[in-house]
Copies of this chain bind each other. A is one copy, B any other.
Amino acid sequence: MHFASDNAGPVHPKILDALAAANEGWAIGYGNDPLTQRAIQRVRDLFEAPKAAVYLTATGTACNAILLATMAKPYDIVFCTPEAHIHEDECNAPEFYTGGAKLSLIESRDALMEPAALDAEMTKRGSWGVQGPQPGAVSITSVTERGTLYPLDHIAEIARIAHRHGTCLHLDGARFANACAALNCTPAEMSWKAGVDAVSFGGTKNGCMGVEAAVIFDPETAWEFELRRKRGGHLFSKHRFLSAQIDAYLADGLWLDLATAANAAADRLTRGLTSCRDTAFRWQPAANMLFTDMPRSLHRRLHDAGAVYYVWEGTLDGDPSGTATARLVTDWSTPDDAIDRFVDIVSQT
């Protein structure tokens, strides 16, 4: 019963096989090998973006931070939500890579950025002249950090505001595949067709070992990404082993299959918990992440039974009838019987 994170499950066997296959013989380093070219082409094909610049990094934080550094200057602001991974969970990586840009928090509802609040803040900041930092970029995440999804027209609205203020829109797609699967849309529809300028297209949380693709639809500033990646220490010498992951991930729709499986597991869990008296979802689950309130006594029983997950809000200490919030995440490998066992324990209350 492992629901702590989608980065805690195993790598999919096809990805591992691809690593072994890529290990045949000698390959020039730093991304100048044929496998890298093929992987990049696959990303372009997936996004229906033949001119897009595509770069691989091993971590999502690197992908996000380097992309933001190509979009925002040190004297700029990056607008995001209070829940944003770039704000909460990256130990100031965006500030580091941008050379000191400021993250400004825009009001959100269900972890989705409020367009009106964004517009108001950008208007205010844009009128300040040299005294204050300038609007630099907007960054949103989908699947959000609370498990919710941006409808495509919501993304489009954010993009229009960002562009009207002369900035770019970045999409943190650590769970991009899960969002596509849930919305039943294409990667192009969820990105450039909705006005997104650059995507961190995640692989790590969806069955890869460690790879994210930075996709920049206007390749004009691509060279800058490459240099910033290198000076960040993120250009892999044995680059083929990043490329092999992406190559296998995009072959035969594996990326979508894995996300679909993860979402299905979450759906099974959601349906199971919905009927339980003692649980209450904080946000309506939409992809592969659930937040649910439960009594402390129930948490303890689950932990005693071996369930692993983060207590996202509250603590397990204190009055047993008090509640604390569980964060439950599924991935492609989550077994049905683990879900059923979990639901079983919960429903016994």
Chain A residues packing against B (C-beta within 8 Å)? 2, 4-5, 7-11, 16, 19-20, 23-30, 57-66, 73-76, 87-93, 95-103, 105, 130-134, 204-205, 209-210, 224, 226-238, 241, 308, 333
Residues of B within 8 A of A87 (CB): 102
Shortest distance between the CB of A209 and any CB in chain B (Å): 5
Residues of B within 8 A of A89 (CB): 131-132
Residues of B within 8 A of A229 (CB): 130
CB-based closest 5 A-B pairs: A62-B233, A95-B100, A7-B237, A61-B233, A75-B227
Q: A28-B4, A59-B237, A75-B230 are in contact. Are A102 and B92 (CB under 8 A)?
A: yes
Complex: chain B residue closest to A99, CB-CB = B99
What are 13 A-B residue pairs whose CB atoms fall within 8 Å in the complex?
Answer: A7-B29, A7-B238, A10-B23, A10-B25, A10-B26, A11-B238, A11-B241, A64-B233, A66-B233, A74-B96, A74-B228, A92-B100, A92-B101
Q: A2-B26, A74-B92 are in contact. Are A230 and B8 (CB under 8 A)?
A: no
Alpha-carbon gap, A134 to B223, bound state (A)? 11
Alpha-carbon gap, A16 to B238, bound state (A)? 14
Residues of B within 8 A of A234 (CB): 59, 62, 233-234
Complex: chain B residue closest to A90, CB-CB = B231
Residues of B within 8 A of A95 (CB): 74, 95, 100-102
Tell whether, in the assembled complex, residue B130 and residue A230 are in contact, meaning their CB atoms are under 8 Å apart: yes
Residues of B within 8 A of A10 (CB): 23-26
15 A-B pairs besides A58-B58, A92-B100, A95-B95 with CB distance below 8 A are A5-B29, A11-B238, A59-B236, A65-B233, A66-B233, A75-B224, A91-B132, A91-B227, A93-B233, A95-B102, A99-B100, A100-B231, A133-B227, A133-B231, A232-B233
Residues of B within 8 A of A133 (CB): 91-92, 227, 231
Shortest distance between the CB of A211 and any CB in chain B (Å): 10
Residues of B within 8 A of A26 (CB): 2, 8-10, 308, 333
